[in-house]
């Protein structure tokens, strides 16, 4: 397992860094907040589905494996 930064995840998923930090703080994405306030995120990503949006029964976690692409 390796670690990536908020900006790397945001670029890969085409979302803002703020949204990545929100997913981390709510526990929908796994990562660790360091003492300096920065997040390090586990790779490969595991993003748990939220309560809104399409019905994702049977798909509790989305895993993003492709680091570059």
pLDDT of residue 50: 74
C-alpha pair distances (Å), 37 with each of 20, 25, 34, 56, 62: 14, 12, 5, 32, 26
pLDDT tens string 16-39: 999 999 999 999 899 999 999 999
Q: Please tell me the pTM assigned to this model.
A: 0.74
- Please report, rounded to a whole number, the percentage of residues in the chain having pLDDT higher than 70: 74
24 or 66, which is more confident: 24
pLDDT of residue 43: 87
């Amino acid at each position: 397992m390796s670690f990536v930064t908020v900006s790397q995840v945001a670029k890969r998923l085409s979302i803002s860094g703020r949204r990545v930090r929100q997913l981390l703080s709510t526990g929908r994405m796994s990562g660790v907040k360091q003492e300096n306030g920065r997040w390090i995120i586990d790779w490969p990503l595991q993003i748990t589905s939220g309560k809104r949006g399409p019905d994702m029964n049977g798909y509790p976690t989305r895993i993003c494996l492709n680091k570059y692409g």
